[in-house]
Structure 1
Amino acid sequence: MKKLLVIECILAVLMAVNPFNQPDKPSPTAQKTMTKQAIQNKIKGGWAGQLIGCTFGGPTEFQYNGTMLNDYQPIPWYDGYMKHTMLNNPGLYDDIYMDLTFVDVFEKKGLDASVDEHANAYATAGYGLWHANQAGRYNILHGLKAPESGHWLNNPHADDIDFQIEADFSGLMAPGMPNTAVQIGDPIGHIMNYGDGWYGGAYVGAMYSLAFVSSDINYIVSEALKTIPAQSTFHQCIADVIKWHAQYPGDWKRNWFEIQKKWSDEVGCPEGVFHPLDIDAKINAAYIVLGLLYGGGDFTKTMEISTRAGQDSDCNPASAGGILGTMLGYDAIPAYWKQGLAEAEDIDFKYTNMSLNDVYAMGMKHALQVITRNGGTIAGDQVTIAVQTPKAVRLEQAFTGHYPVRVLPVRKNLDTEYSTEFDGIGFVIRGEAKPKSRTTSTDERSFIANAELYVDEKKIETVQLPTDFTHRRYDLFWKYQLPKGRHTIRIKLLNPDPEHLVYLSDLLVYSDQPVKSKL
């Protein structure tokens, strides 16, 4: 299996190398000429729409898991709200400042910046991360390079939403060129994701790209899906949403219920398995599409539906708002949604030296560079884009043949050793390394526990478990693709410390067959 992982990663690297220098060759008639002003207007609309959606959905983020916000429940929006939120709740904008990390690398290092430069920039940034992003960060900081850092054997959150929420930059850099947008995002997306987790970002990037050259939201949603392999569960999920929209064109809630019935099973994310939380990329992408399709180009309807669908209800309207903002252009975003935007556009996002006004200019610069590298031309104020027909990328699927069958509580501090047994083919042990006292000083909190993992008395790895939140290992221990049967797990703490502890919360077990209800 190790050889298989190496081969997969080599293939991913080969297909991701120098995406800007491998232009998709469109037919001679596949061109779109726009003014620079029109392109800038759409780039501004994309970034502004993302900020608007993130701000609007912020108060409901993961407050409605497995359910929707009822129509009678108000969601605040008022003049000055965006500025207030940016200054007082800057951590809300993780999807934007993550986006800007990669934009900044392109700005400083050029379009040929290596994936290692992107990976190191985000891994060493000062912001807190979660799920696939944090797991990928830990992997990068401990010497595991992309794409292995995002592979599901190394990252239990490979299918999570992370790259999906931060892939906007790829489509905004590639107007009318969905294949190039996907290629730009490929190596970066594999820093933290794989399979459906990567497809989420690829799909979002393709929708942004097509939003430059089409004003038909149904076309944008359907055409962008052609970049995703039809065999993948991601493609199947979104295709279902499109199908159900055709069947129930006036009832987004009926579509939402169909999505829940078929696609709400969580397999990867250990926090979400058997729990209402669902941070899986495909179901949250389904909520983006739900908002876009039933919004029908109306900004308010799109914001309301993508937010009221629940789960990651700030990131989903951020993506929907960004895509629709690109299609409409900044000037056509309704004044109601832009109230207070101007006073927020010069505020630097936390952890960056970049404001919206900065990224508007950088985005335009990068887009023009990508256009000319991919067969387009610039003549004065006129920009001709070599528009691309979407092509499906390679098939990747995470957690194949793995089905979660039970979560067993552990709830123990790891004093020196812990041992247990399970029946199955894989497991994840959740928990955390932390100070024993909340009053522990900052310096004392930065302790690193060292531990060894043994499976069936074979040493699997020696790991570092930092107590520092920014550098933590998101899940403590895991192993997949074991022979089916009875297995023993033994964990040995190498450096017990009186001021710190390693807490083991629960054990998630996988088998090769799902548990079937008797109903």
Structure 2
Amino acid sequence: MKKQVLAAIFIAILLGAEVACSSTEKRNKNQRIPDTVTLTKETLKDKIKGGWAGKTIGCTYGGPVEFLYNGTMIQDYVPIIWNKDRVKWYYDNFPGLYDDIYVNLTFVEVFERLGLEAPADSFAIAFAHAPYPLWHANQAARYNILQGLRPPESGHWLNNPHADDIDFQIEADFAGLMSPGMPNTASQITDKTGHIMNHGDGWYGGVFVAALYSLAFISDDMEFVVKEALKTIPPESSFYQCVNDAISWYEEFPDDWKRNWFECEKKWSSEIGCPDGVFVPFNIDAKINSAYVAIGLLYGKKDFFKTIDIAARCGQDSDCNAATVAGVLGTMIGYSQIPEKWKESLYEIEDRDFEYTDISLNDIYEIGFKHALLVVEQQEGKTDGDQVIINCQQPTAVAYEKSFEGHFPIEKKPVNQTISEGFSVNFEGIGIVLKGSVQCADANYIAQVEMYIDNVLAETAELPVSSSNARRVDLFWQYQLPMGEHTLTFKWLNPRSDAQVTATEAIIYSNNPSR
């Protein structure tokens, strides 16, 4: 009899769980973006403040472990330091940590000067001439722009070997924060700004992040926000498939973020484009880092610490991924609801300008609020006294793009030679990226080098010294060659005794993956 009672209780519990689960699934399935949402101005501003404040906090939290754990998660026993003075410490000692914020602010400042219709070239010129140092896709794009190549060509993979890198993903927050409830408007803004430095999956990283912010204004269901934001990405793209896998594995393993992380690593951690990430654990590719963002947001379950901690412990670009999830969650819950333990770290610096800018957090709170009101009205919403009525948008996918299609890295070839008469690099494949540097006692020196493929002039390159903000990230690259044996040769047009152009290694691409 006792066993029968226990069995009945067990069955009732299971049925109750099934009913609860079915109810939750039904609620999520039936949930949709409303036609309009009304927020008070105070609430809207609080959410914008939460976005920028959260991003600053998350960036600070992940700062000590940025790219220290590549291809591995950060174990639970590894401490990540936090105290109320952490943000001030970075402001005082390493303000360059906040590069993903001050690049955002470059685009914000262009909108502030020129209005919502500012053209793509204006963003590109401001970005290229900004005083801060850049890396990867950003620096490759800056070089391209300074050499006369404009977006979208400046970010296209044929002109930028870093086109799929994370760069725009970490500096697209502004587009979502000025487009509350309007993810397609955010996508249009990213089209003008994200193609400065990225293409394909690299651009999609920014589109996805901007949509996350945009939708966080109008829903407090994080799973819904993540799934809806992904609808802005073309399903045929590898970016969509990677992040969608992370969502599916969350549903399969809802209490085990580490299992999700392992599945992502097994399927999606192979780097193709970035010459610094091919054949090594370092991975700055947008799609895998966006998967970490999705993992942090989903498994964090709106707990501020859990959200940023999980995103940081996924490794790779830990500061930027923690910054993104904290910004999205900060937008969803608002500045007023960020726990005091985290928010108190900002009080001493909210009036201090970010490095390389004339904009502080308190400034961007106000500017961001002003821009959001302008976009709301531009998109046929309105303000009515203290009320802001947002004309919401159902997310639609942006155009399909793919970088490095048909190109497979098959070899990393050591070179380690200075360019001189008779120097050459032989390779078999359809593409090559040659890494290297330019050194000279004169910081203003620019090496002029003719580069030949199979005795045909491919390019005459201007190569500033490698310490310059105008530097070229990679010495040379060429894709879409006929499959076969090729020879890369050089002619240095303006050599001098105190200068060196050094080739360090070559990444070789084939039309088939190596076995």
TM range (shorter): over 0.9
Equivalent residue for 1:450? 448
Of 258, 262, 271, the residue aligned with 1:257 is 262
| Alignment correspondent of 2:14 | none
1:330 maps to a residue whose letter is Y
State the one-letter code of the partner of 1:311: Q
By how many angstroms is 1:417 displaced?
Answer: 4.5
Counterpart position of 2:427:
422
Alignment correspondent of 2:66: 61
Q: Could you tell me which residue of structure 1 aligns to residue 190 of structure 2?
A: 185
Residue in 1 that maps onto 2:365: 360
**Unmatched 5+ stretches in structure 2:** 1-31
1:22 matched to which residue of 2?
A: none
Question: C-alpha separation between the residues in 2 aligned to 1:316 and 1:94?
Answer: 13
Give 3-state SS (helix, strand or coil) of 2:460's partner: strand
Post-superposition offset of 1:415 = 2.7
The one-letter amino acid of 2:332's match is M
Which is further off, 74-83 or 39-48? 74-83
1:496 offset after TM fit, Å?
1.0
Instruction: Measure, in 2, the Cα distance between the counterparts of 1:238 and 1:228.
Output: 10
116-125 vs 149-158, which deviates more? 116-125
Provide the residue aligned with 1:33 in structure 2.
38
Residue identity in the other structure for 1:194: H
Aligned counterparts of 1:488 and 1:427: Cα–Cα separation in 2: 10
- 8 Å CA contact 1:237–1:263 kept in 2: the answer is yes
User: Which whole-Å CA distance do the structure 1 matches of 2:491 and 2:329 have between them?
Assistant: 52
Match of 2:26 in 1: none
Aligned partners of 1:445 and 1:147: how far apart in 2?
A: 30
**Aligned-partner SS, 2:318:** coil
The answer for the alignment partner of 1:285 in structure 2 is: 290
For 2:309 and 2:99, the matched residues in 1 are separated by 21
**What SS is found at the alignment partner of 2:469?**
helix
> What does residue 151 of structure 2 align with?
146
Alignment partner, residue 352 of structure 2:
347
Q: What's the CA shift for 1:445?
A: 2.0
Measured in 1, the distance between the counterparts of 2:315 and 2:449 equals: 38
State the shift of 1:418 in Å: 2.0
Q: Which residue, 235, 252, 257 being the options, matches 1:247?
A: 252
Q: Which runs of 4+ in 1 moved over 6 A?
A: none
- Displacement after TM superposition at 1:84 (Å): 1.6
Instruction: Please name the residue that 2:217 is paired with.
Output: 212
Which of the numbers 457, 461, 464 marks the counterpart of 1:459? 457
TM-score norm. by structure 2 comes to 0.93
Partner Cα separation in structure 1 for residue 448 and residue 343 of structure 2: 50
Q: TM-score, normalised by structure 1?
A: 0.92
- Residues 33 and 393 of structure 2 are in contact (CA less than 8 Å); yes or no, is this contact kept in structure 1? no
Residue among 106, 125, 138 paired with 2:111: 106
Are the aligned partners of 1:229 and 1:393 in contact in 2 as well (CA < 8 Å)?
yes
Q: What are the superposed Cα offsets for residues 239-266 of structure 1, whole Å, 9 maximum, x if unpaired?
A: 0000000111111000000000000000
CA distance, structure 1, for counterparts of residue 81 and residue 163 of structure 2: 33
Specify the structure having the higher radius of gyration (Cα): 2
Between the aligned partners of 2:209 and 2:319, the Cα distance in structure 1 is 15
TM-superposed CA distance for 1:446, in Å, is 2.0
The answer to whether 1:413 aligns with 2:415 is no
Q: Distance in 2 between matches of 1:95 and 1:416?
A: 42
Q: Is the 8 A contact 1:416 1:496 kept in 2?
A: no
Shift in Å, 1:28: 12
Of the candidates 136, 142, 147, which is equivalent to residue 137 of structure 1? Answer: 142
Distance 1:455 1:503 in 2: 18
Task: Return the alpha-carbon distance in structure 2 between the equivalents of residues 407 and 154 of structure 1.
Answer: 20
1:383 counterpart SS class: strand
Paired residue type of 2:66: E
Q: Indicate if the aligned counterparts of 1:287 and 1:309 stay in contact, CA closer than 8 A.
A: yes
Alignment of 1:260-409 (within 5 A): 260-409=265-414
State whether residues 416 and 494 of structure 1, in contact with CA within 8 Å, keep that contact through their aligned partners in structure 2. Answer: no
> Residues 310-363 of structure 1: CA distance to partner in whole angstroms, max 9, x if unpaired?
000000000010001000100001111112211111110110000000000000
Alpha carbons of 1:474 and 1:417: their partners in 2 closer, same or farther (altered >3 Å)? farther
Paired residues, what number? 483
Quote the Cα distance in structure 2 between the aligned partners of 1:365 and 1:418: 57
Following superposition, the deviation at residue 167 of structure 1 comes to: 0.1
The superposition leaves residues 73-107 of structure 1 with CA deviations (integer Å, 9 ceiling, x where unpaired) of 11111112111211210111100000000001111
Partners of 1:232 and 1:311 in 2: CA distance: 22
User: Hey, what does 2:485 align to over in structure 1?
Assistant: 486
